[in-house]
Amino acid sequence: MAILKLTGSVGSGNSKNGVPHNDPDDFKKIRDRFVSIGYDWVKDKTIVDKEFIDLIKLFQSICKGNVRVEGGDGRIDIHKNTHRWLAAKNAPGWVDMTGQSGFGWEVVKTDYGNSYTTTWMKDRLSNAGIYYYLKSLFLRSNPPMWVRDFSKKKGGKTKGHGTHQTGLNVDMRLPIKNSLKYDHRHALKKGENDKTYESLFDREAARSQLKMIKAQMNVKVILFNDRTLRKEHLCQRYDNHGGHYHITILPPQRFEGVYR
Ligand SMILES: [Zn+2]
């Protein structure tokens, strides 16, 4: 149970409505709560600095469901949304996914260290993976979901991606037939009517993945150019999304912690 009671506001700007601003005890509670849920790069901070404000902005962007760090004012006002999200039972934590795996999924390779994401993403991936795995057991032997790229260590602009800034996006490699001969390192480049693609792409496994992801991950959008799966309303077209698919998740409903 998260308990996060404050006497005033913390972060950028000044005191409003006569409540204290950046009171040392409030600051410590906020810092320690961030650290306890995985934002550990602020653990040694003793004052509110730019990096601390950037973290508040990252957190605000996550809670708003933004895939870029934008739309946050960098301050935690008492009893307002950011305070309540930080106190929430399902506050978004921050995790390193390097080398992690579960039933039905494994992180195969991340580029440029883009291995960090929210606990929302990790939990939902785990759920989708379990259902995908169970279905695979009964129907056929599918390769696990090959997870590729998340966000960078402290969030923000992510090399190789237009979004991916807030731990709400993930890229997945495409499942390939005959995975004894081919594995996740074999990248499929083209998405439509290409002979090599058609002979290698395991569309049935991909269909099963997308269905489980849609059912379990509270997705906003899945970007993937495969014409057959688009016709089944499992994904949408977007430039450069022929050789992998991209997922954006939405924030959950908030389960309040103790903030008053
Ligand atoms: Zn992506």
Residue 86 sits in the same domain as residue 100: no
User: From the CA of 25, how far away is ligand 1's center (Å)?
Assistant: 39
Residue 119 sits in the same domain as residue 239: yes
Residue 70 sits in the same domain as residue 134: no
- Does residue 150 sit in helix, strand or coil? coil
User: From the CA of 106, how far away is ligand 1's center (Å)?
Assistant: 17
User: From the CA of 42, how far away is ligand 1's center (Å)?
Assistant: 27
What is the strand order of the sheet 101-102 is part of?
101-102, 105-107, 145-149, 169-173, 244-249, 219-223
CA distance 157 to 32: 25
Residue 108 sits in the same domain as residue 67: no
Please check whether residue 66 lies inside any domain of the structure: yes
User: From the CA of 244, how far away is ligand 1's center (Å)?
Assistant: 8
User: From the CA of 239, how far away is ligand 1's center (Å)?
Assistant: 11
**Could you tell me the CATH number of the domain that includes residue 136?**
3.30.1380.10
- Bridge partner list, 173: 146, 244
User: From the CA of 32, how far away is ligand 1's center (Å)?
Assistant: 31
The pLDDT of residue 47: 96
CA distance 222 to 145: 15
Please check whether residue 2 lies inside any domain of the structure: no
Distances (CA, A) of 233 to 106, 151, 191, 237: 25, 27, 16, 11
Please check whether residue 255 lies inside any domain of the structure: no
User: From the CA of 46, how far away is ligand 1's center (Å)?
Assistant: 36
- Domain of residue 86 covers 10-91
Residue 130 sits in the same domain as residue 16: no
Last residue of a domain, one of 91, 106, 125: 91
Residue 62 sits in the same domain as residue 151: no
Please check whether residue 215 lies inside any domain of the structure: yes
- Does residue 230 sit in helix, strand or coil? helix
pTM of the model: 0.94
Where residue 132 falls (left for φ over 0; alpha for ψ -120 to 50; beta otherwise) is alpha
- Can you list the residues of the chain whose pLDDT is less than 70? 1, 179-187, 189-193
Strands (E), 4-60: 10-11
Q: How many residues does the chain have?
A: 260
The number of distinct structural domains making up the chain is 2
Which of 66, 23, 87, 24 has the alpha carbon at shortest distance from 168? 66
The pLDDT of residue 143: 86
Please check whether residue 254 lies inside any domain of the structure: no
pLDDT tens sequence across 163-195: 999 999 999 999 988 766 666 666 676 656 577
The pLDDT of residue 136: 84
Residue 246 is inside which H or E element, if any? strand 244-249
CA distance 130 to 104: 6
Last residue of a domain, one of 67, 91, 115: 91
Which of 214, 204, 233 has the alpha carbon at shortest distance from 139? 204
Please check whether residue 114 lies inside any domain of the structure: yes
Q: Say if residues 103 and 175 touch (Cβ distance below 8 Å).
A: no
Residue 160 sits in the same domain as residue 147: yes
Residue 155 sits in the same domain as residue 63: no
Residue 117 sits in the same domain as residue 240: yes
DSSP 40: G
Q: Which residues surround ligand 1, an ion (CB under 5 A)?
A: 171, 246
Mean pLDDT of the chain: 93
Residue 132 sits in the same domain as residue 193: yes
CA distance 19 to 79: 12
pLDDT tens sequence across 135-157: 888 777 788 999 999 999 999 99
Residue 168 sits in the same domain as residue 236: yes
User: From the CA of 224, how far away is ligand 1's center (Å)?
Assistant: 10
User: From the CA of 149, how far away is ligand 1's center (Å)?
Assistant: 7
User: From the CA of 208, how far away is ligand 1's center (Å)?
Assistant: 20
The pLDDT of residue 194: 76
Residue 131 sits in the same domain as residue 62: no
Last residue of a domain, one of 74, 91, 108: 91
Please check whether residue 237 lies inside any domain of the structure: yes
The pLDDT of residue 132: 95
Q: Say if residues 249 and 224 touch (Cβ distance below 8 Å).
A: no
The pLDDT of residue 68: 98
